């Protein structure tokens, strides 16, 4: 009996093409937002947006980079005013990073641009979006550790947390 599943090679090739398209949409979204951030920096901002205040080491681990690389990236984002460091009032040794309001605005803008680009592509390929395709892409993203992007629709403003003190 013949399987209806495509050969693994064909699936990988299709995903390679799709991933190039997704990266292209994201890069165009970054350029349109005019926020002067790189793709890795944007990923850092998204981690902070999705997970809230984090230690530098936790962000580096999430991104799969060396702690020193993560620290340098966070330093750049701090200088751009997109991230700020805070110390815990209960344990002053703990420094967490959080998005600033301009950082949140930039993430919002880039995600809106990306969504608009994807909506255009979906409209051009509307006949292909069968439930099985949507299920497969969702399962693929979940297997890669990605989560739905609707988390950003309900930003929680952590900037007025009383337990955190800005690090100068």
Q: Give pLDDT tens digits for 82-98.
A: 999 998 788 788 889 99
Residue 135 has pLDDT above 60, yes or no: yes
Residue 11 has pLDDT above 50, yes or no: yes
Residue 161 has pLDDT above 80, yes or no: no
| Percent of the chain clearing pLDDT 90 (strictly above) | 58
**Which pLDDT band holds residue 158 (cuts at 50, 70, 90)?**
very low
Higher pLDDT, 74 or 7: 74
Domain extents in the chain:
9-114
Rounded to whole angstroms, the Cα distance separating 100 from 91 reads 22
What is the structure's pLDDT at 6?
64
Pick one of 3.40.50.300, 2.70.70.10, 1.10.8.640, 1.10.10.10 as the CATH number of 9-114.
1.10.10.10
Residue 160 has pLDDT above 60, yes or no: no
55, two tokens: 């230690």
Beta bridge partners of 166: 86
What is the structure's pLDDT at 146?
76
């Amino acid at each position: 009996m013949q399987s209806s599943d495509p050969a693994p090679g064909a699936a990988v090739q299709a995903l390679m093409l799709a991933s190039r398209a997704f990266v292209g949409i994201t890069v165009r979204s970054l350029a349109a937002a005019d926020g002067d951030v790189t793709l890795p920096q944007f990923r850092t901002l998204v981690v902070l947006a999705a997970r809230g205040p984090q230690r530098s080491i936790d962000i580096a681990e999430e991104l799969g980079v060396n702690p020193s690389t993560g620290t340098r990236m966070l330093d750049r984002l701090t200088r751009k005013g997109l991230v700020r460091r805070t110390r815990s009032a209960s344990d002053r040794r703990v420094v967490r990073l959080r998005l600033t309001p301009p950082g949140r605005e930039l993430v919002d803008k880039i995600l809106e641009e990306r969504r608009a680009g994807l909506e255009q592509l979906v409209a051009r390929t509307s006949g292909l979006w069968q439930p099985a395709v949507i299920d497969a892409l969702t399962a693929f993203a979940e297997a890669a550790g990605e989560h739905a992007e609707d988390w950003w629709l309900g930003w929680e403003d952590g900037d007025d947390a009383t337990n955190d003190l800005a690090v100068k």
